[in-house]
Amino acid sequence: MTELQMGLIGLGAAAVVGVFGYNKWQEMRQRKLAEAVLKPQHEDVLLARVKTGEPVAVAPESPRQEPELRVEESEPSLERVEPVLVDPTPTEVEDAMAMAPTPEPEPAIPAPAIAAEPVAPLPVVGGVAEAAPEIDAGPVPAELLDPRLEFVVAMELVEPVSSLQILHSQRSALHRLNKPVHWIGFNEKTREWQRLAQDGEVDVRRLRVGLQLVNRLGPVSEGDLAIFTNAMQALADELMAVADMPPSRVLDQAAEIDRFCAAVDLEIGLNLVSRGSAFPGTKIRALAEAAGMMLGADGLFTRYDDAGRAQFSLQNFESTPFSVEALRSLTTHGLTFLLDVPRVDHGERVFMQMTEVAKRFADTLQGALVDDNRQPLSDAQLDHIRREFIGKPQATMAGFGLAAGSPQALRLFS
């Protein structure tokens, strides 16, 4: 064994002895202090008199005036004799108080320290600590996500994460889906739920992701559902969150919604055909713009309401789509006015407006309104179309809690 090891052993032993001795010294010191504090200043008079059974007089020089204890004398009996406590007279109390020395203050005994539970620091605003209020996000509005129409996965993140990071996380996996995916996050600055977009960035801690169950291509497939759930679990692992998924009755729910959609998914068309000469494209454009219709990239003239929702559109009855360049030299023998029933709010009123525009076109272009069999349409037939093929389907949608032209309807019938 080396000298260094011997020295370390000796230092360790000395430290142990020192600690033991210090503890003993502290124990003796505390014992003496407790005895000094708790030591009685005089003999307990009550106990002395009970032992002797005789009254004991209190000496004038006694530091304290105790009440006189008297025992009633009586003939011996088997009954227990209790001492009687007699209050001293006021004079005796005053004399005793004057003769009693002033007691010295007793040393204070330190109270045992109690460890306080750790308290999280409050955020400091303007130099004053204020409690951060808990923001109640509330449910996601149905116009953004509807549990009847989407398979919604909820995630609560520990720390805020950029929406761009979230959107790009599982892009390659979700790109294989045949149904849209809707990303909704809670903006803590505006305190409202909002749709996450590629052209905007916001940090979110509350995330909702919805896989649309049905569109005009049909219900979601089992394969799409498996891809989506796996992607959401991978996203939750990446964000260190827990993915709260709804029950597994998703495919049945999608089939029910698809059957409902098939019953109300109608598109009404009014055909305007020429009676001789073709319709020139320049006149078509002038009439469409006068009716408040705009030419879009899809090759259709479309009229929108004040909220920017499509009401009805105009397309070429022939195969050539409309465009600014083509309309300068285009001629056609027919036009078609279209109204998408489940996507239009107040469909009956909009149909009447579309009918008036179609009649104006017919008068100007010298054409005739006909049905799909090229039979002329009378006012009675137009009224029947309005009631049976627009009014009733939209009433059915309202009874289902899905108004025609609502954000949910626009997603569903896409």
CATH number where 154 lies: 3.30.70
**Residues 261/412, Cβ–Cβ less than 8 Å:** yes
**Residues 173/238, Cβ–Cβ less than 8 Å:** no
pLDDT of residue 119: 41
Q: Classify residue 206: in a domain, yes or no.
A: yes
Q: What is the pLDDT tens value at each position of the chain, 414 positions in all?
A: 687 878 888 888 888 888 888 788 777 877 776 666 555 555 554 444 444 555 544 444 545 554 444 444 444 444 444 444 444 454 554 554 545 455 454 444 444 443 444 444 444 444 444 444 556 778 999 999 999 999 999 999 999 999 999 999 999 999 999 999 999 999 999 999 999 998 888 999 999 999 999 999 999 999 999 999 999 999 999 999 989 988 778 999 999 999 999 999 999 999 999 998 999 999 999 999 999 999 999 999 999 999 999 999 999 999 999 999 999 999 999 999 999 999 999 999 999 999 999 999 999 999 999 988 889 999 999 999 999 999 999 999 999 999 999 999 999 999
Beta pairing, strands 334-340 & 310-316: antiparallel
Determine if the pTM surpasses 0.75: no
**Residues 299/322, Cβ–Cβ less than 8 Å:** yes
How many domains does the chain fold into? 2
One domain, residues 278 and 179: no
Q: Classify residue 303: in a domain, yes or no.
A: yes
Domain that holds residue 247: 150-254
**Residues 235/169, Cβ–Cβ less than 8 Å:** yes
- Give the integer Cα–Cα distance in Å for 245 and 364: 58
Number of Cβ atoms within 10 Å of the Cβ of 272: 21
One domain, residues 186 and 232: yes
pLDDT of residue 107: 47
- Give the integer Cα–Cα distance in Å for 165 and 235: 10
Number of Cβ atoms within 10 Å of the Cβ of 262: 11
One domain, residues 394 and 293: yes
> Tokens representing 109?
């005994």
- Give the integer Cα–Cα distance in Å for 57 and 277: 143
Domain boundary among 254, 279, 297: 254
One domain, residues 315 and 405: yes
One domain, residues 331 and 281: yes
One domain, residues 231 and 285: no
